[in-house]
Each structure stands twice: as structure tokens, then as C-alpha cells.
Structure 1
Amino acid sequence: MKEKKKGIKINAFCLLFCVIIICALASYVITPGTFDRQIVDGRTVVVPGSYHVIEKAALSPLAIFNAIPNGIIGAANMVVLILLVGGSIEVYNKSGAINAGIGKLVKSVGSKGGPLVITVFFAVFAVLGGFLGWIEVCIPFAPLIIPILLALGYDTIVAVSILVLGLMVGFAIGPTNIYTVGIAHQVSQLPIFSGIKLRLIAYFIFTGITLIYILMYAAKIKKDPEKSYMKGIDVSDLNVDLSKNAEITRSQSMALVILVLTFVISVYGMLKLKWSIVDMTGVFLLSGIIAGFVTKMSASDIADSFIEGSKGAMGGAMIVGVARAVQWILEQGGIIDPIINGLSQLLDGLPPVGSAIGVFIVVSLLNALVPSGSGKAMALMPILMPLAELIGITRQTMILAYQFGDGISNIFWFTYGGLLIFLSYGKIPLARWYKFVMPLIAVMIVLAVIFLSIAVKIGYGPA
């Protein structure tokens, strides 16, 4: 007798389409408006106090459906990255290099080496997220990390949480995150990355608690797989076949070296050469082609592998585009600035600590509609800085509240394409992810409130 499945199935595509419809309907209710903007040091910033109502044609019903192709176009660089990286990784899979490499790794660390692997991987991604502000550029790691953790006896939630929580918690509390802290400091005319000591303390506390949380769940399901939140979901196609115990060949070893160099070159290019997502995509395309020839695959087989891998990555690529469609419909309806203006007015009259916490909440809500951390910083900082002075808190405290709100909420907003693509790689339904992550998010909210209260009390500076 089959066990009856329980729980609510949440389809991310359906949720996002419902959000698009709601945003389109909101454009008929919310009066369109805009802030004046000006160019400062090559960046477009909002002029404080410049909000005014504008006339804008109502959206047609067709706009709901136009939003999706326009969203895909708007996120084209990420969509192409996901498709071509998927194709490139499939070339490595077909060559047998990844299977052989994972088999050797699992044999080396043994049955008790899982916690060490989790800790090392998590630390790497926490550094990339916290100090470089990287999230989406680490997507290529997903199809490699997942089979490794599965081979070590864990589920895809463990694997994906290493990526998502490592990157996003690091990003949320990042001491030198250029996309939130750096831009906010520039707009607010504060020394770049000033006030780093408090952020470093917060960074180590947040990431330390997160790592412990992952390790506790990993130990629980390793001991009893029935307790896995992924129970009943088929992820067999994500596993690697280690039963043959075949020795790794010379050509496969060369392919793995090429794969490692691909990541090293990509990181160097993004850091030192100011590469874009397109440049990194081209490197992975070249990497797959070279690896294919090194492992004696024919040109036709390489092409077929790219097509097959891209097909497998199509769902993840589409989810990024559909998530971007939410922002497109808001922009077309002219209701992003009215929402920002309305939420900022809610903060008037609050005491200093309440205002800092209020900014944290407001930014968390706005992140559902405008996931871009840098974009929100450019829009909100010119509004929040005068508000900080009026209510008697430092600019640094206001930026910390913004950083917490923007980063922590990335972990659960289903309108954020970055989260959805990582979940899609691990075949993790949103409901299962929420079941796993919500207790941790509750702890993070409490920690954020504590640190904001401390920042207000000590006059966190420089002002």
C-alpha cells in the first residue's frame, strides 16, 4: 500500500505568475509616481524629497504575458550562463571525469569525512558571498557540489544549503560586500567599508550559527535518512555511479584539471579583469569543448552533450527569467517608486531603535519586488540618509539595517531567481526548503534586531 503524500505542493512558476498578475492589478489601484534622479560619480541616485505623481497609461492585460519574455530578455546573461554551464558540465559527465573524481574524493575522506567537506565548502562560499558579494556567479558550482554531498550520504538540502546559506548569509552580513555596503557607503558619502569591526563580529556569529545548523541537520539525516526533508522525492539522476570503482584515467585527470582551472580563471577574471557574466560563460563554453577533446570525444558527441546538458538546465534558466518578469511588470506599471515612497513614510515618528528595525523590515519586504541589492541601495539610500539624521541614528546604522534586510530575505523570497535556480538544481520544492530554513531565519531575525539595537546604543560610526 502506497503512503499517501501530505503537504502543500508549491510550484515556483505558478507562484511567480500569480505575483505578476497581482502586480499588474496593483497598477490599476496605485497612483503612478516617480522620484527625480541624477547622475553622481557615474551612478544614478534618487533626489530626496523629489517624489511626485505622474501620468502613465494603464497596463493592458497582454502585459501580464509580455512580462515573461521581457523578464527572460532582462535576465538574458544569467539565462545563457545557466544553459551553457549546464552543457559544459554534461560534457564532463559524459567523459566520466566527474564520476571518477567524486569517487576518488569520497574514497579519500572516508565515511566520516562528511562534516569536514561540509565545513570547507561552506567556508569557501561564505567568503565569496561575504567579502566579494558573489551569489549568481557561483551557480556553476551547484552541479558539482550536489553529487559530492549525495555520494557522502547526505540529501540535496545539505548540498544546496552549503551554497545558498554560505553565499547568502555571507552576502547578508558581508564586511566588504561591494553590492550593498560598498554602494551604500558611496551614496551616503561614508568612507568605503568603514565600520568593519561590528560587521566582522556579526559575520562570524551569523555564519558560525548557520554552519552549526547545517551540520546538525546533516548528522541527523546521515544517522536516519527517513528524517530527510527530501523524503519521497526522486533525485536518483543527480547521483553518480560509484559502484564500478574504476580507476581514474589520465585523460579524465586532465579534464578535472581543466575544470579546476576553469573556476580559478573565472574567479581571477571577475576579480582582476572586471569580467562580466558573459565572459565567464564563454570560459565555461571553451572549457567544455577542450575537456571533450581531451577525453577523446568527437565534435558531434561534444555538441550533443551541450544540447543535452542545456535541456536539463532549461527549468532553472526559465525560473530566473520569470522571476525577473516581476520587476518588469512593476516598472511598466510605474509603481516601484510609489511603493518605496509609501514604505519610507511608515518610518516617520519611530524611536531610533524602532526606526532601525523598521528599515530592516521595510527593505526585507521591498526585496520581494526588487531583488537587486545594488539597485535598492541606489534608490533607497538618498531617502534613508536624511531620515537617519531626522530620527537621530547614524548613517552607518541605517546602512547596517539596509544590509540585513536585503541579505537575510534573499534566503526565502521566491521572487529571487538566484535562490530558485539553486533549489532547482537540487530538485527541492519551496515547501521543503521553507520547512528546513525557517527556524534558522527566525534566529537570524533575532540576531539582526540585537545587532541593530547595539548599533543604535553605541552610536555606530562613522556617522
Structure 2
Amino acid sequence: MEKTKKSFKMPHLLWIMLGIIMIACFATYIVPAGHFLTDSNGQILGNDFQYLGYQTPVSPWGAMMLMKEGLVGAASIMFVVMISGANVNVVLDTGVMDDLMNWSIYKLKDKGTAMLIALMMILMAYLGGFGGTDALIAVVPIGVLFAKKLDLDPICALGVTTFAALVGFGTGPAQQATTQMLMGVIPYSAFFTRLLIMNFFLAVAIFFVITYARKIQKHPEKSLMATEGWRPGEGVEHETESELLKQVDMNWRKIAVIVIFILQYIIIALFPLLGGDPNQTFDFMIAMMLTTMIVVGIIGGMSAEALAQSFARGLGSMAFVAFVIGLAKVISLVLGNGNIIHTIVYVLTTPLLELPRSVSSIGLTLIVSIINPIIPSATSKAAILVPIMKPVAQALGLQPNLAVVAYQMGDSFTNLVSPLLGWTVGSCAMANVPFPKWFSWVFPKVLCFILLACIIVFILTVSGWSGTI
């Protein structure tokens, strides 16, 4: 009897993190211990490194004993992440985002192809940029419906929904607060610069989709889905259309919920710029998000019980992510107590120290781009990489916010080709697009995005951008 081969399955993130902790312990036994010297301000001197001459190993049990210290040390970030998740969940549970989507699509259904694609993608990118979760997979059937109405293939359906949402999610100014906190910079700082970057990439994404749509309208046989049986003129059942296209009244309550939700991020970004104490940023964030959640729930018509239940679900959904952040702190403690973190940084940065900073910052972007498809969760990846990336950035003399932007640019686009990201593969399944076909269409776009990202990082580096706005 022939045995069936089991396909490889990525281990759960818990085992990956615990495995990394064990690898870190093992490394403290074999990697030579050493440290960089620092100046009077405590800044690392990247060209002044010394080996200790002896090992300071951390055993696996010693790492377990560091768990409490790691979790407590990351507590502020962990609770901000959890409350942020609860905040977003309450907004989603009001149904306002769904109503906004239905209202927008209903209003746009009779517009020209290019206008419809552009406005749909702008809406999806901003939803992804400010409140993006894989729950936006639910919008894919609406994209499929409109692709059919416009005689476009299912790849265009993904283009106006998931493609746009992931571009917004990856480059949006509200998506890297956790990375900033882990890097030790003010959350949501450089908000407006990153908002400008998001809109730039959104414009490029719109160009890609419109160009493809026009091509297959003129030459349907050039559609990547032609070999899958797609032909233009595939109509939709009236019942399906009436079910998906709903004329929604966007009353003042719904508009107020959307405005308040977005406004909170702007207020948090402006807090230190308007004289707020940067040391109280986490306090302000938690207070603002809790207040926003309550106000949004009340305006959105939720009962006290429904609001509390929604808060609890959102909080719970982020609990494991918060725990992962705590485990990342443990990794940092193991490497630090073992006195090998500086050795690792020294080995990684020595070749780069001879290069211009602009090239070094681009290197960070490319490294994260390569790692991103393997660990598509931005928060988890930041928790794993920042303990290494932060001292590397210090050794290279990079501004912390510049390192965050370099990280974000690497973290943004390879999500679109990751077979491990549920958002991507789930969207393909809902649109009936085989993943290889999607990969063929989107991969050249991803390469272009990465090239443009490297140019942006280069410009920010050589211009001396400080990351304050």
C-alpha cells in the first residue's frame, strides 16, 4: 500500500518563538561574548567593539526563569496592542465599515471603469491602512460582482479589493505603532510622511490595475484567467446583485463613527508635537483608544452589553500577539544576558559600516522583504526582528524612525505573494483565482514596489530626514 506524503506545514508561532529562545540559549554557549563601547550619552559606538574573552551562557531553564521579566518588561506595549485590537473590533462590530463599502459601491456602480477602479481602490486602501484585518476578505465577493459587471476577470476583482487593501495595510501610517514602540520611538510619529508614502504607492497600484483592466477589455485572450475558462460577458444573477448591492443610508451617526475612528490616530500622532509629554504617550494612547471605543460604540447604536462583548472579543483576539511580544523581550534578555547581542550586531554590521548609510538602510528593507513571506504577521515579525534591528540601526547611525520606515517598506509588499498569509490565499479562494495565477500577475508589481521602496528609503536617508513629521 502506497503511503501518502504529508505536505509541510509551518509550525505554530508559539513553537517558533520558543524554538528561537532555545536557539538563543544555545548561541550564548558558542558565540563569543562581547560588547560595543558607548559615548557619554549612552549611544553605541559602532566602530569600537571588544570581546570579553569568556562566555556568559544562559541555560534553557535560565531562559524560562526570564519569562516573567520579559513579559513585565513588555507590558506597556502588550496592553497598548490589546486595547488597539479591541478598539478596531468595536468599530467593525458597529457595521459602519460594511455600510461605507456598500454605500460607496452602490453610488459608483454606473461610473466608468477607470473611475470605479480608482475610487474602489482608494476606499479599500484607506480601510486597510487604518483598520485593516483579514476580515476584509469579506469584501472580495463584491469585487467579483463588479468585475463581472465591467467584463473584467477575477484578478481585477482581487485588484480592487485585496490588492488595494494590502497595499494600504502595508504602507499605512497607523500600522507600525508596535514596531515604533519596540524601537523606542514615539508611536505614530512620522505619521504624515508615511501617509504621503501610502498615497504614492496607492497611486502606483491604481495604475497597475487600470492598465491591466484596459488590456483585457481590448484583448480578453490576454487575461491570465483565460486558460481557466474566463470569458468576458459573464453576467451575474439578479438575485446575487440585489443581495450584494445595497443602497445604504450614510447618516450622521455612521459618518461620525468613521471620522472619530480616523481622528484618534491623528490626535495620537499630534500629541507630542502639541506639547504632550512623550513619556506619557502610552498613557495617552490607552486613554484615547478606550474613550474612542466607548464614544464610537454609543454613536454606532451598540448596547452596553454588546459594546462590552465586542471589546472583550477584540481584546482576546490580540492576547496571543501580545504574548508573542513578551516572548520577543525574553529573546532580547537571553541575548543580552549572554552578552552576544552586540557580537551578532558587530558581525552583521562590519561589512555595512564601510558603505554609505543610504545603502545600509536599503539593506534593512531588502532583508525584511525576504523574511516577510515566511512570517507574514507584521507584529510577530517586528517582535522577532527588532531586538536585532534596533542595535544594528544604532551601530549604523540610522535614525530610529528611518529604521522603522525601512522595516515597513520591507514588511509591506511581499504579503501579496505569501502563501502563508490567510488574507491573500483566502481572497484567492473566494475569487476562484488559483494562487499560481495570482502570483504571476502580482509578482512583477511586488518587485516594482520594492524597487520604489528602496528609492524612497534612499531619499529619506540622504536628505537627513529626522522622522518628526
TM range (shorter): 0.5 to 0.7
Partner of 2:9: 9
Give the superposition deviation at 1:30: 0.8
Aligned residues: 382
Q: State the secondary structure of the residue aligned to 2:43.
A: strand
1:34 touches 1:52 (CA, 8 Å); kept in 2? Answer: yes
Partner of 1:379: 394
Partner of 1:26: 27
Give the superposition deviation at 1:267: 0.7
Partner of 2:143: 152
Q: Equivalents in 2 of 1:399, 1:92: separation in Å?
A: 31
Q: State the secondary structure of the residue aligned to 2:58.
A: coil
Give the superposition deviation at 1:84: 2.6
Partner of 1:35: 36
Partner of 2:344: 339
Alignment TM-score, normalising by the size of structure 1: 0.59
RCO comparison, higher one (Cα < 8 Å, 6+): 1
The 1:333–1:444 alpha-carbon spacing in structure 2 relative to 1, beyond 3 Å, is farther
The 1:109–1:162 alpha-carbon spacing in structure 2 relative to 1, beyond 3 Å, is farther
2:33 touches 2:339 (CA, 8 Å); kept in 1? Answer: yes
The CA RMSD measured in Å over matched residues stands at 5.8
Partner of 1:52: 50
2:170 touches 2:408 (CA, 8 Å); kept in 1? Answer: no
The 1:66–1:424 alpha-carbon spacing in structure 2 relative to 1, beyond 3 Å, is farther
Which of 96-105 and 355-364 deviates more?
A: 355-364
Partner of 2:107: 108
Give the superposition deviation at 1:438: 6.2
Q: Equivalents in 2 of 1:247, 1:123: separation in Å?
A: 20
Q: Equivalents in 1 of 2:447, 2:299: separation in Å?
A: 49
Q: Equivalents in 1 of 2:199, 2:21: separation in Å?
A: 38
Q: Equivalents in 2 of 1:372, 1:443: separation in Å?
A: 29
For each residue in 1:18-74, what CA deviation from the matched residue of structure 2 results, as whole angstroms up to 9, or x when unmatched? Answer: 33332222121111211122354xxx4113543222356311212444566655544
Amino acid of the structure 2 residue aligned with 1:380: A
Give the superposition deviation at 1:78: 4.2
Correspondence 1:84 to 2:83: yes
Give the superposition deviation at 1:343: 2.5
Q: State the secondary structure of the residue aligned to 1:371.
A: helix
Amino acid of the structure 2 residue aligned with 1:284: M
Q: State the secondary structure of the residue aligned to 2:39.
A: strand
Which of 52-61 and 85-94 deviates more?
A: 85-94
Instruction: Give the unaligned 5+ runs of structure 2.
Output: 145-156, 187-192, 217-222, 229-241, 369-380, 428-434, 465-469
Q: Equivalents in 2 of 1:399, 1:290: separation in Å?
A: 34
2:393 touches 2:403 (CA, 8 Å); kept in 1? Answer: no
Of all paired residues, the percent bearing the same amino acid is: 16
1:87 touches 1:310 (CA, 8 Å); kept in 2? Answer: yes
Give the superposition deviation at 1:337: 1.0
2:364 touches 2:407 (CA, 8 Å); kept in 1? Answer: no
For each residue in 1:248-305, what CA deviation from the matched residue of structure 2 results, as whole angstroms up to 9, or x when unmatched? Answer: 485xx41541342232133133224457244233323222222333455432332122
1:266 touches 1:280 (CA, 8 Å); kept in 2? Answer: no
Q: Equivalents in 2 of 1:377, 1:341: separation in Å?
A: 8
1:27 touches 1:335 (CA, 8 Å); kept in 2? Answer: yes
Alignment TM-score, normalising by the size of structure 2: 0.58
The 1:333–1:163 alpha-carbon spacing in structure 2 relative to 1, beyond 3 Å, is farther
2:313 to 308, 321, 325: 308
Give the superposition deviation at 1:336: 1.8
Give the superposition deviation at 1:157: 4.5
2:35 touches 2:339 (CA, 8 Å); kept in 1? Answer: yes
Amino acid of the structure 1 residue aligned with 2:308: A
Q: Equivalents in 1 of 2:95, 2:459: separation in Å?
A: 53
Give the superposition deviation at 1:96: 3.7
1:400 touches 1:452 (CA, 8 Å); kept in 2? Answer: no
Amino acid of the structure 2 residue aligned with 1:342: V
Give the superposition deviation at 1:342: 1.7
1:33 touches 1:334 (CA, 8 Å); kept in 2? Answer: yes
The 1:454–1:86 alpha-carbon spacing in structure 2 relative to 1, beyond 3 Å, is closer
Amino acid of the structure 2 residue aligned with 1:329: V
The 1:319–1:408 alpha-carbon spacing in structure 2 relative to 1, beyond 3 Å, is same
Amino acid of the structure 1 residue aligned with 2:340: I
Which of 28-37 and 241-250 deviates more?
A: 241-250
For each residue in 1:212-238, what CA deviation from the matched residue of structure 2 results, as whole angstroms up to 9, or x when unmatched? Answer: 557779999x995999xxxxxxxxxxx
